[in-house]
């Protein structure tokens, strides 16, 4: 188990370190050694445990950083190129979102290792259905993360039309947006018969296995 301090550990750091007691290993050790489908020195792409739509991915840094807004300049530059490669692998319209929270905030989903969701969706999902009216629009994801560096907690999102917006901790608390808020929205908006909580997925998912088989490069074991 990868301990960050005396109080907590990181689910993703465990997995990337190959810890056999990680949630991924417990679920998939008979099927997969890794779920990495795209990688470079700084970032990896993983199919999401709890696939709301087949092909859903997480983008996360190898280094433990609590939020994408906390990345350094070199990592941000690498992230931009990595995202372009990840977007190219998604063969349909998609939405992006990160609920970024520092551990001290107690917000987010309880895993304080930065991760961006890429979720393919069957029809358009517009920003007005994703974030409340006090959202702040941005010219790019990088701009959204830069502006939210000072916020203890934020949600950054991009809709299927390419609109990027964010809300800070004040809006999150005002509207009571809790753990996995964006996953709850997707389940409700698309009337999905799947749990919004990824922790409820207790068995290997065929959507995840098929995503790995279809997208994993030959140099990833």
d(CA 26, CA 202): 9
Q: How far is CA 188 from each of CA 51, 115, 119, 160, 182, rounded to the nearest angstrom?
A: 15, 22, 15, 17, 10
The alpha-carbon radius of gyration of the chain (Å, integer) is: 16
In the chain, alpha helices (H): 11-16, 23-28, 73-88, 141-147, 169-175, 181-189, 206-215
Residues with catalytic roles? 115
Tracing tokens 């907690």 back to the chain, one arrives at 153
Q: Could you tell me which of 50, 67, 7 has the C-alpha nearest to residue 205?
A: 50
Structural tokens at position 122: 């069957």
d(CA 197, CA 62): 24
d(CA 221, CA 218): 7
Structural tokens at position 119: 């979720």
């Amino acid at each position: 188990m990868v301990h960050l301090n005396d109080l907590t550990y990181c689910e993703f750091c465990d997995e990337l370190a190959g810890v056999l007691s990680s949630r991924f290993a417990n679920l998939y050790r008979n099927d997969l050694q890794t779920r990495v489908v795209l990688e470079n020195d700084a970032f990896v792409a993983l199919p999401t445990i709890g696939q709301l739509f087949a092909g859903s991915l997480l983008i996360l840094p190898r280094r433990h950083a609590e939020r994408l807004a906390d990345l350094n300049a070199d990592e941000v530059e690498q992230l931009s190129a990595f995202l372009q490669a990840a977007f190219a692998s998604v063969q349909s319209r998609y939405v992006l979102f990160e609920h970024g929270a520092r551990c001290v905030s107690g917000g987010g989903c309880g895993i304080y290792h930065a991760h961006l969701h890429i979720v393919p969706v069957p029809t358009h999902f517009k920003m007005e259905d994703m974030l409340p009216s006090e959202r702040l629009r941005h010219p790019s994801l990088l701009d959204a993360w830069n502006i939210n560096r000072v916020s203890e907690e934020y949600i950054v999102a991009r809709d299927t039309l390419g609109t990027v917006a964010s809300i800070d901790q004040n809006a999150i608390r005002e509207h009571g947006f809790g753990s996995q808020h964006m996953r709850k929205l997707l389940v409700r908006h698309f009337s999905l018969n799947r749990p919004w909580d990824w922790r409820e997925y207790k068995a290997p998912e065929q959507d995840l296995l098929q995503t790995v088989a279809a997208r994993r490069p030959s140099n990833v074991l």
